């Protein structure tokens, strides 16, 4: 029963992962080209990972402490929830969170996305994703 309580956290991690697409698109728009945006995105990820592995203060605690709490949720959720939920339930929950967040981002045009109304088909698709999670997670 506890696993059912963890599914919303996996969905939230998926939803927050979707925000990365918007932030990457904004970075590309600001820089004017996709390659520099890609290099910055992955470059920062590599620096943070190397910092954690080597325990060297490449970025310093001050910079890391300035990162918003939600920026760390995606990887943490996978680590914490994977064995409790199982691979199928975790991935179904994450993808469902991504779909729901994407529908909201498109509908409201948040993060610079072009507006695409949340019509009946998009809402039905999101609802079917939620039903899919329930079917996959059936314990």
pLDDT in tens, 47-56: 777 776 776 6
* pTM (whole model) above 0.75: no
pLDDT at 111 over 80: yes
In this prediction, residue 71 carries a pLDDT of 64
104-123 average pLDDT score:
94
Dihedral sign computed on CA atoms, order 31, 35, 38, 39: negative
Please say whether the beta carbons of 8 and 73 come within 8 A.
no
d(CA 19, CA 14): 9
For Cα atoms 50, 52, 55, give the angle at the middle one, nearest 5 degrees. Answer: 95
- pLDDT of 13-33, one tens digit each? 888 877 777 777 777 888 888
Residue pair 41/106 in contact (Cβ under 8 Å)? The answer is: no
Q: What is the pLDDT of residue 31?
A: 84
What angle do helix axes 2-31 and 73-85 make, rounded to 10 degrees?
150
């Amino acid at each position: 029963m506890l696993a059912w309580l963890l599914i919303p956290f996996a969905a939230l991690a998926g939803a927050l992962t979707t925000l990365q697409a918007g932030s990457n698109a904004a970075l590309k728009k600001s820089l004017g080209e996709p390659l520099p945006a890609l290099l910055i995105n992955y470059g920062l990820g590599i620096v943070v990972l190397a910092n954690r592995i080597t325990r060297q203060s490449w970025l310093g605690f001050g910079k890391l402490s300035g990162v918003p709490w939600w920026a760390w949720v995606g990887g943490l959720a996978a680590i914490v929830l994977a064995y409790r939920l199982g691979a199928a339930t975790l991935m179904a929950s994450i993808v469902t969170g991504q779909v729901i967040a994407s529908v909201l981002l498109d509908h409201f045009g948040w993060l610079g996305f072009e507006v695409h109304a949340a019509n009946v088909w998009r809402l039905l698709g999101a609802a079917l994703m939620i039903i899919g999670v329930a079917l996959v997670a059936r314990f």
